[in-house]
Structure formats: structure tokens, C-alpha cells
């Protein structure tokens, strides 16, 4: 709050000029839109700065004790915008963007005086960007798959409704915390969605190697299967398909390490150099598969993946996580012991390593040799099975693919003893 007696100090001058600048910025955008589209002008490069200064003046008088003037000023701008909108409707026009912008710039003008300047600047600049990028936003909406959009929206709604009311405490002897479990679902789904979005937006337009990197963020297994299918259908590009599969497998180590780091930083540090070595080995093996692109053209390999923000995959992940956590604890505390846990790790590698590894990462004793060995066995199993998936389809390159995946798998073995 500023004690105003009629004189303006340096801070007040800055706030006044900012209100003027933000109004001019928004007015300039509206004026250019009217000129480009030949629309009837509601307000432009002069009206919007005046409305911003009007808000600033109402805020100033509000601080001087005329408390009713600020809401009255807002109501007067609302009345002006309503008249303009009613005139549009009478002439068969639609759209209230400029009228809403007029109300917003009045509020922004008042906020430059009454609140933190950064908030007022953010509102003004972001509003201008949204208005100026109308064509790009509308084009994006047209390209969005409506079914996937609704699935994502349902997931987010359920998350924001369910997650806050989930109990944040342990249940049963297996320390099952509903809030932590759903937090993991959100984390894994969010990381997967980044890769899913990249694949959907750019997968058809980039090279195979970049397709492999992006697909590995979502599912390196699905990417390996898709690359194998491409090698079968387009034998001339089989080496490039193998390169994409190996790169996707390399990304898997980075993705898993990031997930572990969110839950258990110390465990991620312990595994860091091992996973970096394994990821680097995958990149080198991918480079060894490189050759000059063939004349034959084919679309990049597209993994058959589902939107990670759908309800069903999220619930399946949560159930797998709970089941594997209970099974791991049960096996560890029975006569099967270490051998049983490592056998389970090898089995989970055939399907999906994320639920199993994250259940281990939550263990308070997350840095024990058994946990480290189980994680390495799981990723070893997963890497080998991806090699089998690819080689079974790439008939022209199955020996070279199996050899590279076998070498990659062998590199895991000495790491099991360097814990």
C-alpha cells in the first residue's frame, strides 16, 4: 500500500508507466487484429491504454479512501462491454474476446498499483500472447484427437478429485500408502505423456533415430516391436530400425533412473553411473548399426502406445505396483529369500519393469545389495526380451540384432557384483 498525498515517488512512476505500457501492448494487438480481419473496432491502440489508466486511477482513489470507486469503475467498463456485445449480436456477429480483454485490462491497470508488479505483467503479457496466437491455437485444437482429449481430461479430473482425499498413511504390514501410490501413477503417466505427445506430433516427420529416442520415453518395448515390424516390412531399412530400437532401449535407463531419483535420491545416485554406462553402451551399439540410408523410403517406426493419461492404464499400473510390492515383501520374508526376489525381478522384466522397480525404490532400505541386484536383473531381463521381440520379426538382421542385445545384456552381469 502506498501512502499517497498527491505526489508521485519513483515507484509510483514505474507503476504508472507499466499500466500505460500493458494497455498499449494489448491495444496494439487488438488494433492489428481488426486491421488484418477488417472487423468493426471496439477498442484499439488508444482505448485499451485509457482503460488501463482508468483502472490505475480507480485503484489510486481506492487507496485514498474512496473505496467504492474501484468496483464502480469495473461495473462501468462491464456496462460498456455489454453494450458492445449486444450491438454485435444485433448485427449477427459472434465473439466477445475484445470485450473480455477490455475488462481484463482495467483489472490489470488497477493491479499495477495495488499488487505485485510481476503478477500484473504476467496477466498482461500472457493475455496478449493468447490473443495474438489465435490462428495457431485454433489449428492445434483442430488437430487434437477428441477421444484422447476427453480421456486425458477425465484422468486429470479424477486425479484432482481423488488424490486430495486419499489417506496419506500406511496400511497393512506392507506399508501401502494410497496417496503415495497415486502420486506414482501421476508421475509415471506424466513422463510417459511427454514421449507420447512427441511421438504423436513429430513421429511421422522425423528420422528413425529420433523416433526411437521419443518412443523410448513412452515404452521402449513397444518401440522395439514397432521397429521390428518395420524391419520385416522394409528389409532395406532394417539397420535403421535396429538403431531406433537400441536407442529406445537406451532411453529406458534414463527414464527409470529419473523415476527412481524422484522417490529415492540416494538409490538413484548409487545406480547413476551403472545406468549411465548401460545407456551409453546402448548408444554405441546403435551407432554400430548405422549405415548409409537406402533409397527405399518408409515412414518412421511408430510404437503402438496408448495415451498414458487414460484411466485404465493408470489403474492397471497402480494394481501392478501394489501386487508386486506385496509379492516382493512376501517372497523376501519367506524361505525363497534373495533367489525368489531375483527370480521375480527377471519375470517382471518380461512385461513392465516400472511397477516392480518403483516398489523397490520406496523401500526404506533402498540401497541394500538385494534391491540393487533386483533392479539390475529386471532391466537386464527387459533388455534381452526386447532383443528377442525385434529379432523375431527382423529376419534379414536377426543375427546382428541378437548379437548386439546379447553383448548389452552381458554388460549387466559384472555390474551385479560392483554394488
Determine contact, residues 47/80, Cβ cutoff 8 Å: no
136 with 173, same domain: the answer is: no
Domain assignment present for residue 214? The answer is yes
Determine contact, residues 280/122, Cβ cutoff 8 Å: no
150-154, 243-247, 313-317, 345-349: which is most confident: 243-247
116 with 188, same domain: the answer is: no
Domain assignment present for residue 4? The answer is no
Can you give the pLDDT at residue 67?
84
Residue with cell 511421438: 199
40 with 184, same domain: the answer is: no
Domain assignment present for residue 181? The answer is yes
Q: Which residues pair with 171 in a beta bridge?
A: 176
Q: Which of 124, 140, 156 is the last residue of a domain?
A: 140
Can you give the pLDDT at residue 231?
76
pLDDT bracket for residue 203 (50, 70, 90)? low
Q: What is the DSSP string of 275-330?
A: HHHHHHHHHHHHHHT--PPPSS--PPP------TTSHHHHHHHHHHHHHHHHHHHH
pLDDT bracket for residue 209 (50, 70, 90)? low
Q: Which of 140, 159, 186 is the last residue of a domain?
A: 140
Percentage with pLDDT > 70 across the chain: 76
Can you give the pLDDT at residue 56?
93
Mean pLDDT of the chain: 77
Cell reading at 161: 478429485
189 with 287, same domain: the answer is: yes
In tens, the pLDDT along 61-70 reads 988 888 888 8
Helix (H) or strand (E) run with residue 351 in it? none
d(CA 322, CA 170): 13
215 with 151, same domain: the answer is: yes
Can you give the pLDDT at residue 363?
66
131 with 162, same domain: the answer is: no
- What's the mean pLDDT in 331-352? 75
Domain assignment present for residue 222? The answer is yes
pLDDT bracket for residue 106 (50, 70, 90)? very high
321 with 230, same domain: the answer is: yes
152 with 135, same domain: the answer is: no
pLDDT bracket for residue 277 (50, 70, 90)? very high
122 compared with 224, residue with greater pLDDT: 122
pLDDT bracket for residue 28 (50, 70, 90)? confident
Domain assignment present for residue 5? The answer is no
Domain assignment present for residue 286? The answer is yes
pLDDT bracket for residue 53 (50, 70, 90)? very high
**Up-side HSE of residue 225: CA atoms within 13 Å toward CB?**
9
Tell me phi and psi for residue 176, to 5 degrees.
Answer: -85, 115
d(CA 192, CA 219): 8
Domain assignment present for residue 398? The answer is yes
Full domain range(s) for residue 100: 10-140
114 with 84, same domain: the answer is: yes
Cβ neighbourhood burial of 275 (10 Å; 0-12, 13-18, 19+):
buried
pLDDT bracket for residue 295 (50, 70, 90)? very low
Cell reading at 252: 529406458
Q: How many domains does the chain have?
A: 2
184 with 104, same domain: the answer is: no
230 with 368, same domain: the answer is: yes
CA dihedral 274, 275, 279, 282 (to 10 degrees): 60
Helix axes 220-233, 369-393, angle to 10 degrees: 20
Give yes or no for residue 293 having a pLDDT over 60: no
127 with 192, same domain: the answer is: no
367 compared with 373, residue with greater pLDDT: 373
In tens, the pLDDT along 162-196 reads 778 888 777 777 667 787 777 777 776 776 666 66
d(CA 351, CA 378): 10
Domain assignment present for residue 2? The answer is no
CA dihedral 8, 10, 13, 15 (to 10 degrees): -110
Q: Which of 140, 158, 178 is the last residue of a domain?
A: 140
Amino acid at each position: 500500500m502506498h501512502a499517497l498525498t498527491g505526489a508521485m515517488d519513483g515507484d509510483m512512476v514505474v507503476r504508472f508507466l507499466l499500466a500505460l505500457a500493458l494497455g498499449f501492448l494489448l491495444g496494439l494487438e487488438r488494433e492489428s487484429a481488426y486491421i488484418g480481419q477488417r472487423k468493426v473496432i471496439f477498442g484499439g491502440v488508444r482505448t485499451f491504454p485509457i482503460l488501463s489508466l482508468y483502472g490505475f486511477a480507480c485503484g489510486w482513489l481506492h487507496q485514498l479512501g474512496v473505496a467504492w470507486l474501484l468496483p464502480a469503475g469495473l461495473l462501468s467498463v462491464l456496462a460498456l462491454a455489454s453494450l458492445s456485445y449486444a450491438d454485435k449480436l444485433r448485427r449477427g456477429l459472434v465473439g466477445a474476446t475484445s470485450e473480455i480483454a477490455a475488462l481484463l485490462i482495467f483489472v490489470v491497470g488497477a493491479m499495477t498499483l495495488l499488487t505485485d508488479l510481476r503478477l500484473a505483467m504476467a496477466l498482461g503479457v500472457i493475455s496478449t500472447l493468447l490473443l495474438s496466437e489465435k490462428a495457431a491455437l485454433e489449428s492445434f485444437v483442430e488437430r487434437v484427437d477428441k477421444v484422447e482429449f476427453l480421456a486425458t481430461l477425465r484422468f486429470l479430473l479424477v486425479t484432482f478429485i481423488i488424490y486430495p482425499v486419499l489417506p496419506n498413511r500406511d496400511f497393512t504390514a506392507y506399508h501401502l500408502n494410497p496417496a503415495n501410490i497415486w502420486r506414482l501413477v501421476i508421475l509415471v503417466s506424466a513422463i510417459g505423456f511427454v514421449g507420447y505427445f512427441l511421438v504423436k506430433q513429430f513421429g511421422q516427420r522425423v528420422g528413425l533415430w529420433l523416433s526411437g529416442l521419443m518412443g523410448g520415453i513412452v515404452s521402449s518395448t513397444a518401440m522395439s516391436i514397432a521397429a521390428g515390424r518395420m524391419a520385416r516390412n522394409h528389409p532395406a531399412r532394417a539397420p535403421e530400425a535396429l538403431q531406433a530400437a537400441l536407442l529406445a532401449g537406451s532411453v529406458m535407463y534414463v527414464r527409470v533412473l529419473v523415476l527412481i531419483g524422484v522417490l529415492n535420491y540416494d538409490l538413484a545416485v548409487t545406480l547413476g553411473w551403472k545406468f549411465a554406462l548401460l545407456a551409453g553402451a546402448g548408444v554405441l551399439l546403435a551407432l554400430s548399426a548405422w549405415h548409409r540410408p537406402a533409397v527405399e523410403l518408409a515412414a518412421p517406426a511408430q510404437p503402438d502406445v496408448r495415451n498414458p493419461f487414460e484411466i485404465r492404464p493408470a489403474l492397471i499400473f497402480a494394481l501392478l505396483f501394489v501386487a508386486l510390492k506385496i509379492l516382493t515383501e512376501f517372497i523376501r520374508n519367506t524361505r525363497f529369500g534373495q533367489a525368489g526376489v531375483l527370480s521375480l525381478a527377471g519375470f517382471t522384466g518380461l512385461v513392465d519393469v516400472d511397477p516392480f522397480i518403483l516398489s523397490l525404490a520406496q523401500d526404506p532400505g533402498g540401497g541394500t545389495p538385494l534391491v540393487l541386484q533386483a533392479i539390475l536383473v529386471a532391466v537386464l531381463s527387459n533388455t534381452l526380451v526386447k532383443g528377442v521381440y525385434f529379432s523375431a520379426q527382423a529376419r534379414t538382421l536377426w543375427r546382428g540384432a541378437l548379437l548386439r542385445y546379447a553383448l548389452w545384456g552381458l554388460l549387466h552381469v559384472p555390474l551385479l557384483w560392483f554394488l
